[in-house]
Structure 1
Amino acid sequence: MFALIAGQGDLPGLLAKHLDDQGRKPLIAALEGFAPDGLDVDLTFRVETLGTFLIELGKAGVTDVCFVGSVARPALDPGKIDANTMPLVPVIMQAMQAGDDGALRAVLDIFEKTGFKMQGAHEILPDLLPPAGIATKTQPTEHHKKDAARGQAIVAAMGVADVGQSCVVARGQAQAIEAQPGTDWMLRSLASDQERVVPGGILYKAPKPNQDRRIDLPVIGLNTVENAAAAGLNGLVLEAGCVMVPGFETVVRACDEAGLFLWLRETDQ
């Protein structure tokens, strides 16, 4: 049986429907406070009761697990840690003090050592990863291509520090880098301070180096397109085969309407 540990956004609903259509109705679980939109939740859990939650998944017959959707890092209440979770406390505390990638690796390790097979959203629904190439009518210029190479280097350096998965570059200058609040917050921040922004920039988005791609693979959607346009950018550059785009055709149309290019860029370009 499949379980989706579902957060917010469009992806949980897409995966649940896909599995339903295959006759593999998933169990839907959610971290308290981050219930997915439009899905009935079967199990709700807290980090402080993770051990009990793992036991409940096993009793329900779950064998495969996928983390999908966005959540924020919760605050822990030591008084709510239950007996089944006490053995996991050292790993949980270490994870909470690590960067996002380090924390997620620790969570994956807990689930795998419990006996669950972990799968990425793109493994369940491969269409989430669009093919390489320029998908829009608008094309990147030579200076956009140079900015994309610069963006690749910046995101790789950010990844070493386990910081974020995207940045904005214009004429070789880093305009903004993604931190804990996320890509859309970064773009909205640029849109609110246009006097300091070099026009004609790009959003570059890619996984962190050596990231476990079964969890927290980068994703963009219509909100990203809207925020990129509001920030005065010329286009979006995604590492091909590594960034999920739910509703790809709709996103391409939105880019065309906004006059943005969407480039699924291979890393050797």
Structure 2
Amino acid sequence: MTVSIDRPRKLGIAAGGGPLPLAVAEAALAAGREIFIVGVRGAAGPAIERYPHGWVRVGAMGRFLRLFKQAGCDDVVIIGPMTRPTLRDILPDFQGLLLLPRFIKRMKTGDDALLRGVVEFLEENGIRVIGAETVLPSLLASEGLLSKAAPSPSQEADIDAAIRAAQEIGARDIGQGAVVCRGSVLALEDVKGTDAMLGRVAAMPAEGRGSEVARDGVLVKLPKPAQERRVDLPTIGVRTVERAAEAGLAGIAVEAGGAIVADAEGVARKADELGLFVLGFPHSRTHGARS
């Protein structure tokens, strides 16, 4: 009698930059899953070469699909930051040329529309796209404080104002974050990302953004209203805490279950070291903040 043993589905990882692709790879391996990483040139780092891997340039959609198919991947996680390409950056292969009109249209709409196009392309070709949190659940922000510090009542009001501002730009597929201080919107995230936004805040006069002595203002990141939540969830990490401190902010707030925290223990340590709060607020708060 032959006994069939269900093997875990082989996992493909479409890797952008940062440590998250490697964290997902290690979690999958620890769970007994085979993996194959496809690194996007110009975004993924050389550390992916420690694992079974291949490389793909932006626009080479045929090779992108073929690498996962040849490796026998059933599921794919798309993880890690990548600079949004311009048309000049894209070097399509034959499959990419066929898809170019579709992707040009999506590029004009926004980042989330572009990523939804990548998801659709993979799933049209028999590969299931899954969220990174299904492999590594601890990546998702939990509800409550990660830090010893907590927001004051006025900072709670700034969080609500920043939620509203982030929802407005998210509805237009522009960005996922906003900085608010004492009721005033100081900056909104655009295609340049969170670091660039915090850099703009850091360059403002101290009276407009708090100071080393008395921090004030908050950074909020949350998913866009129509976000494809399997890819490109808002992400914070230790560097985000450092940049928020450089900008004179009092803290960071993200939607619990709707954001990724890279290295939560490290984020908590750095926040306590620098005197910032890091808060995960419930999804229900994003509805209350609209009023």
Change (3 A) 1:267 1:52: closer
Matches within 5 A, 1:1-269: 1-40=10-49, 42-76=53-87, 80-195=91-206, 197-199=208-210, 200-269=216-285
What secondary structure is seen at the aligned counterpart in 1 of 2:48? Answer: coil
What secondary structure is seen at the aligned counterpart in 2 of 1:39? Answer: helix
Q: Equivalents in 1 of 2:121, 2:145: separation in Å?
A: 39
Structure 1 residue 80: Cα displacement = 4.8
Structure 1 residue 97: Cα displacement = 2.4
Structure 1 residue 206: Cα displacement = 0.5
Change (3 A) 1:24 1:267: closer
Structure 2, unmatched stretches of 5+, are 1-9, 211-215, 286-291
What letter matches 1:99 in structure 2? G
Q: Equivalents in 2 of 1:76, 1:20: separation in Å?
A: 36
Q: Equivalents in 1 of 2:243, 2:129: separation in Å?
A: 32
Structure 1 residue 36: Cα displacement = 2.6
Count of residue pairs the alignment pairs up: 269
Q: Equivalents in 2 of 1:186, 1:72: separation in Å?
A: 15
Structure 1 stretch 31-40 or stretch 102-111: which is displaced more?
31-40
What secondary structure is seen at the aligned counterpart in 2 of 1:33? Answer: coil
Structure 1, unmatched stretches of 5+, are none
Q: Equivalents in 2 of 1:34, 1:79: separation in Å?
A: 14
Structure 1 residue 249: Cα displacement = 1.6
Q: Equivalents in 2 of 1:165, 1:2: separation in Å?
A: 28
Structure 1 residue 196: Cα displacement = 6.1
Change (3 A) 1:241 1:220: same
| Deviation digits for residues 31-57 of structure 1 (CA, Å, limit 9, x no counterpart) | 222223522172212243212331332
Q: Equivalents in 2 of 1:175, 1:77: separation in Å?
A: 32
Q: Equivalents in 2 of 1:153, 1:84: separation in Å?
A: 40
Change (3 A) 1:78 1:246: closer
Task: Please name the residue that 2:5 is paired with.
Answer: none
Structure 1 residue 78: Cα displacement = 9.7
What letter matches 1:181 in structure 2? K
What secondary structure is seen at the aligned counterpart in 2 of 1:238? Answer: strand
What secondary structure is seen at the aligned counterpart in 1 of 2:235? Answer: coil
